[in-house]
Structure 1
Amino acid sequence: MIKDVFVVDASAHSYNLREDNYAAGRYSRAVVDAFYGAHYGLSPVGYRLPRGQFARDWTLAETAKVLFVESDYDFACHHVTPINAFKDGGCSIEKAREARERWPERFQVYAGVDPVFPEHALDSLEQQVEELKPVGIKLYPNSYTADGVVGWHMDDPEIAFPIFQRAHDLGLKAVAIHKAIPLGPVPMDHYRMDDIDAAAAAFPDLQFEVVHGGFAFIEETAFQLARFPNVWVNLETTSNLAVAKPGAFERVIAGLITHAGEGALDRLMWASGATVLHAEPPLRWFWERFQFSPEMREREGLPEITEEIKRKLLGLNYLRMHGLDVKALAKSIEGDEFAVERAKGKPEPYATTYSKGFAE
């Protein structure tokens, strides 16, 4: 917690990036290359791990400690990632189950399925809903097969719509779709934004969460925020521009509210992308330093970024989407193991994980 700000991570993961978890040869390696490229390129000095210490099997406990002890987060949504370049999808159902069972006051979870295999996806979704009690679903726009890469679109009535309908029928609130950042040498077409329009229009009761929103296709995303009240932006990875490229981050946030105005800020959600990136640097920078420059405010007609707006982005928007009460959540974590450990002082980056001094 920063001051009395309840901070939520809208997407956290505990990836298994070991080679013995590869399921698609060069594509598996390419996904890990993309993750490590983001880790190294967007992390400040002191928060970069050597590849051997990064590309391993991260435990849920490590993710929890990075968020709640080494950083000022209070609550997180842990995603099942159905990236079939990995045998367990990258971030397994078992880890989501552990999050729900071990620390339910700290974690919600999203289920994850691969729509390229629709019958299996629908069965798996039902099983995960029963087992994990998820509040949303995470999807990726392409799948890796023995023949190469197969992509799909959000507006496909045969592949995508049955998944959305089943998610709605099962009571899930949100559909989170990875966009903007291609995972490896794959066609960019499926990472574009256009296909979200028809999905958002056809399923107005579902909230469509654009993960990595604004990292690319800023104007297209801004138009969707203006036209569809059920489109939201998850700032995973985009948030790390705040430290690595603060000018770019300023342009992204300014661009996202170009067409919907200040009201679009009510549908932007902070996310760290842990464990690909350390959760603390962008959070601290955003809270302490982020403002639109006077020149940009005057030129673009932008609002002042107040503390109230920052509170919304850092947690209140996510909680409102999912109907959660911030006071009840804050009360539930008072004095828990993470609060006790955090009260002793913030550790050095990755000091609570197996990363420093880690060796195969």
Structure 2
Amino acid sequence: MLNGKYVIDAVVHSYNLDPANHAVPRHAEGITGMIFGVVAGSGPEYELGWDQYVRDWDVDETASTLFLESDTDFAIYHPVPIGAYKDGLVSVEKAAEVLKKHPTRFRSYATVDPMAGQAAIDELERQAELLDPIGLKLYPSSWTAEGKHRSFRMDDESIVYPLYEKAKQLGIGTVAVHKAVPLGPVPMDPYKLGDIDGAAGDHPDLNFEIVHGGVAFCEETAWLLARFPNVFINLETLNIICAKRPEQFSRAVLDMAVAVGDHIYDRMWWGTGHMAYHARPCLEAFEAFQFPEADLERAGQFAPVSQITDEHKAKILAGNYATTMGLDLAQLREDTADDDFARKRAAGGAAAPWATSRTPVGAQS
């Protein structure tokens, strides 16, 4: 709990960054470098060295660093299908493991590569049985067995629409897509937002979650939010900007609010990408955040934006996600109120950053 506010982190991972996991080294090296780069400048308490960070993270340390070292209460685990890595970077098996070990603290998304065609649909069916997923996570980039990069559009009726229909049949109502942040040395176009319009319009019975929304293409994001009530923003990476550069966070959020005004507070979901970046400084920064009055005066050309309140923050941190995804927030609170993580936190307070990982700050891997 963050000063009485329940916290759902809508995207967490256990990356396997070990070089032995590279399937397409040129691309995997670029992606690894990009991921490690977000740790740089996070401060002496939080910053890990290359050897401490670039390794295979297990689900136990992801859970412990999240729930014992930050005020996060519940999390959505995202396996990843990035073919530049042998296991996709975050394996489906890790998702199954974390659900088995910590069933009251995690739900999971499924993930597939739509470019695999029928095999992707078959894999989604398998994961639906294995994970009981609450959503489907997609990435625009795909790699062939020969290491060639390729991509797809979210409005491609032949490649991805069959997956949407299968997701609906399986009771999955949300499709998340990684946007704005290109994965290494690949074209930028697949990470733009022009393909969300058609998908959201053609499938009003699905929610479309823009992961990294607002990191780039804020104007396009604003008009998507204005036109499509089934589009939502996952704040992953903006959480890091909030911790490092709150003035940039202010501008990004207000730019996304240009056509929706205060409704922006209903369309954002908290997400940190932990363990890409430690969740604690992000939560502390968000809790302390207020929009500069000068920014508010310039914002909202079509609808004014009010100063952010504790009520707004509570919705962003948990309420919006729980409502949209059909989660019982009261039940989640009850289920996590007295488990092992809660008892340890009550007895000893928050552990030092990365202290419960296999390579704490200052340790050698």
Give distance in 2, aligned partners of 1:355 and 1:208.
Answer: 36
Q: Deviations over 1:46-85 (max 9, x none)?
A: 2111011101111111111111110000000001111111
Letter in 1 for 2:355: A
Task: Map 1:105-144; keep pairs closer than 5 Å.
Answer: 105-144=104-143
Letter in 2 for 1:127: R
User: Structure 1-normalised TM-score?
Assistant: 0.97
Letter in 2 for 1:199: A
Deviations 1:168-190 (A, max 9, x none): 11110210100000010000000
Q: Distance in 1 between matches of 2:20 and 2:281?
A: 31
Shift of 1:45: 3.6
Segment drifting more, 184-193 vs 56-65: 56-65
Please state whether the residue corresponding to 2:40 is helix, strand or coil: helix
Q: Secondary structure at the match of 1:40?
A: coil
Amino acid at match of 1:352: T
Shift of 1:267: 1.2
Inter-partner Cα distance in structure 2 for 1:20 and 1:275: 20
Tell me if 1:290 matches 2:289: yes
Q: Which amino acid aligns with 1:37?
A: G
Q: Match of 2:277?
A: 277
How far apart in 1 are the matches of 2:39 and 2:202? Answer: 36
Task: Indicate if the aligned counterparts of 1:77 and 1:109 stay in contact, CA closer than 8 A.
Answer: yes
Distance 2:179 2:203 in 1: 19
Three-state SS of the structure 1 residue aligned to 2:149 is strand
The Cα shift of 1:218 comes to 0.5
- Whether the aligned pair in 1 keeps the contact of 2:84 and 2:147 (CA below 8 Å) is no
Once the two structures are superposed, the pairs formed by residues 340-359 of structure 1 within 5 Å of their partners are 340-343=343-346, 344-356=348-360, 359=364
Structure-1 separation of matches of 2:239 and 2:66: 15
Tell me, yes or no, if the aligned pair for 1:296 and 1:302 is still in contact at 8 Å: no
CA distance in 2, matches of 1:203, 1:171: 14
Counterpart CA distance in 2 for 1:144 and 1:199 is 23
Q: Which residue of 1 aligns with 2:256?
A: 256
Q: 1:53 to 1:147 in 2, by over 3 A?
A: closer
Displacement after TM superposition at 1:91 (Å): 0.7
**What RMSD, in angstroms, separates the aligned Cα atoms of the two structures?**
1.2
Report deviation, 1:144. 2.1
What is aligned with 1:167? 167
Q: Which residue number in structure 1 is paired with residue 26 of structure 2?
A: 26
Kept in 1, the 8 Å contact 2:140–2:152? The answer is yes
1:230 and 2:227 are equivalent in the alignment: no
Shift of 1:291: 1.2
Partner of 1:331: 334
Q: Distance in 2 between matches of 1:97 and 1:358?
A: 30
Aligned-residue offset at 1:324: 1.1
Aligned 8 A contact 2:250 2:295 in 1: no
159 and 349 in structure 1: CA distance in 2 versus 1, 3 angstrom threshold = same
8 A Cα contact 2:24 2:147, kept in partner: no
In 2, the alpha carbon distance for the partners of 1:19 and 1:203 equals 39
Q: Which amino acid aligns with 1:134?
A: P
Q: Give the letter for the 2:175 counterpart.
A: V
**Residues 122-148 of structure 1, C-alpha deviations (whole Å, 9 max, x = no match):** 110000001110010111001122252
- Choose the corresponding residue for 1:310, options 305, 308, 313: 313
Which segments of structure 1 move beyond 6 Å, counting only runs of 4 or more? none
Residue type matched to 1:346 in 2? A
| Whole-angstrom CA distance in 2 between matches of 1:299 and 1:22 | 46
- Write the letter of the residue equivalent to 2:176: A
Q: Describe how 1:25-174 pairs up with structure 2 within 5 A.
A: 25-41=25-41, 43-145=42-144, 146-174=146-174
Offset of residue 359 of structure 1: 4.5
Report if the CA contact (8 A) 1:226-1:264 is conserved. Answer: no
CA contact (8 A) 1:142 1:190 kept: yes
Q: Residue 202 and residue 290 in structure 1: after superposition, are their counterparts in 2 closer, same or farther (change >3 A)?
A: same
1 CA distance for matches of 2:358 and 2:71?
Answer: 20
Q: Is the 8 A contact 1:44 1:244 kept in 2?
A: no
Separation (CA, whole Å) in 2 of partners of 1:95 and 1:117: 21
In the aligned structure 2, how far is the partner of 1:359 from the partner of 1:121?
A: 40
CA distance in 2, matches of 1:33, 1:237: 15
Please tell me whether the aligned partners of residues 44 and 243 of structure 1 are also in contact (alpha carbons under 8 angstroms): no
Whether contact under 8 Å (1:173, 1:207) holds in the other structure is yes
Task: Kindly indicate whether residue 319 of structure 2 is the aligned counterpart of residue 319 of structure 1.
Answer: no
Q: 1:12 touches 1:76 (CA, 8 Å); kept in 2?
A: yes
Query: 1:189 & 1:3 partners in 2: Cα distance?
Result: 41
SS at match of 1:46: coil
Q: What fraction of aligned residue pairs are identical, expressed as a percent?
A: 45
TM-fit CA distance, 1:358? 5.2
Task: Give the length in aligned residue pairs.
Answer: 358
Between the aligned partners of 2:175 and 2:68, the Cα distance in structure 1 is 29
Unaligned runs of 5+ in 1: none
- Deviation string, structure 1 residues 275-331 (Cα, Å, up to 9, x no partner): 1110110111111x2111111222223211111000001111111111111111111
1:205-237 alpha-carbon deviations (Å, 9 max, x no partner): 110000000000001011101100000000011
Tell me what 1:265 maps to. 265
Distance 1:169 1:201 in 2: 19
